[in-house]
A and B are shown apart, each in its own frame.
Chain A
Amino acid sequence: MATLHYQQQNYLCQKDETVLDTLLNKNVDIAYGCRQGVCQSCMLRSIETPPAEAQVGLKENQKQQNYFLACRCKPESDLHIEPIKQSEFVHEVEVLAKRQLNHDTLLLRLSHSDDFHFKAGQFINLKTPDNIVRSYSISNPPNKNNQIDLHIRVLKNGRFSTWVHQDLKIGDKIPMSAALGDCFYTNDKPEQNLLLVGTGSGLAPLYGILQDALAQQHQGKIHLFHGSRNAEDLYLMDEIKQLVTQYDTLNYSPCLSGYYTDEHVNSYCKGRVHDVALSTYTDLNNWRVYLCGHPEMVKQMQTQVFLKGADMDDIFMDAFHLSSNLIENAS
């Protein structure tokens, strides 16, 4: 018999009873569907490692975050359970630095408390004093200084990015959510080749994943393709080229889809980033792929890299939907 801790309440889970049974019997409002481990509607996460049979069918990255299916979970010991979508603003971060990465993208460096845990490539939600909420990806692995870096594209009429650009000062505090999403590096297959494809500030999660993979001594090849319209839209080129000189396994292809002349030939690939990446590799069997940025690019590439041999469970995506980044919080 195990005790379930869920949203400040304790529930006794009887022998042979699933977590879903227990919560439903106690009239807890929880989403579920097939009760057969198929539909994944009842996915929750726990602080402790859940039983293996409750994770059958989940992706490796979901397993590592202790996600499990409530309808397949018969716990043998106590579990602290929480919903997957932890969008509440449970953390507070302090602004450490702000600097331009290029003409329209800012690096925002924040300091977080010890109880914030994340992996490079996951995203967080931030909230302005006017309750405007935006999602940004973390572009660095955890470090001992408790810092996270975000790449913020300053959009015309973008209320959040204008606030960051104009009003936010060093030392200011911002409410922040837990780290979310499954677009991050895991070292369970160190020999796998990694394909990283991003547009614009989609570089943020990829730059984090890249550094994480290198720090964890990833053995396979790593190839980063970063695309933009014009040369001045790309950024962090020197830093990435520096990494390329340090690591034999790393390749970097900056791509320009717009203005391109003879002077660009030595430094840039010509064309849209996903076209360049796809024409570089014909067989992606056993590759792991990370796709970040423009939603159209991400969706198209998912199908294309799958058809070229990458397993669906090895494709990780972070589509930067303007609409989903424009979550207004009225409260």
Chain B
Amino acid sequence: MSDSLYEKLGGSTAVASAVNIFYRKVLQDDSIKHFFDTTDMSKQMAKQKAFLTMAFGGSGHYTGKDMREAHAPLVAKGLKEAHFTAVAGHLQATLEEMGVAADLVAEVMAIAGSTHDDVLGL
């Protein structure tokens, strides 16, 4: 556990601040913010924190099926490639802003990229 990506990134404190910075970018991006119009952002961010903890190997596990189901309502609302790219861009910018080392950013972005087909329901 001690050398998981989660620990290398800085554990729960780092994940918490990453989620705050990330959603500040997302909610100011006119191309994607409408997907969150009726979202309870407090719950959304709590879930995202728990999800990233899992994705980075902190604890628990998730499946592609979970990703698919979670994003299906958004796909129905028109979630497309360009939106995925925008969100991924905000994630990368967040990590870079936090001073995360380039190799770790690459590792995170590879995990994010691996969700592409499930998120977009392809």
Contact = CB atoms under 8 A, between A and B. Distances in A.
Nearest to A309: B24
Given A36-B54, A37-B60, A315-B42, A56 B47 contact: no
Main secondary structure on B side of the interface with A? helix
Contacts of B61: 36
Contacts of A257: none
Interface of A: 34, 36-40, 56-59, 302-303, 306-307, 309, 311-313, 315
B47 A40 contact: yes
Contact of A40 (B16, B20, B46): B46
B16 A306 contact: no
Contacts of A58: 46
Interface of B: 12, 16-17, 19-20, 23-24, 27-28, 41-43, 45-47, 49-51, 53-54, 59-62, 66
A240 to B, nearest CB: 28
5 contacts: A36-B60, A36-B61, A37-B50, A38-B47, A302-B41
B20 A312 contact: yes
B53 to A, nearest CB: 8
B27 A307 contact: yes
Given A38-B60, A312-B20, A307 B28 contact: yes
Contacts of B50: 36-38, 40, 56-57
Nearest to A285: B20
Contacts of B41: 302-303, 306, 312
B66 A313 contact: no
A319 to B, nearest CB: 11
A127 to B, nearest CB: 28
B76 to A, nearest CB: 20
A274 B52 CA distance: 33
B42 A56 contact: no
Contacts of B17: 311
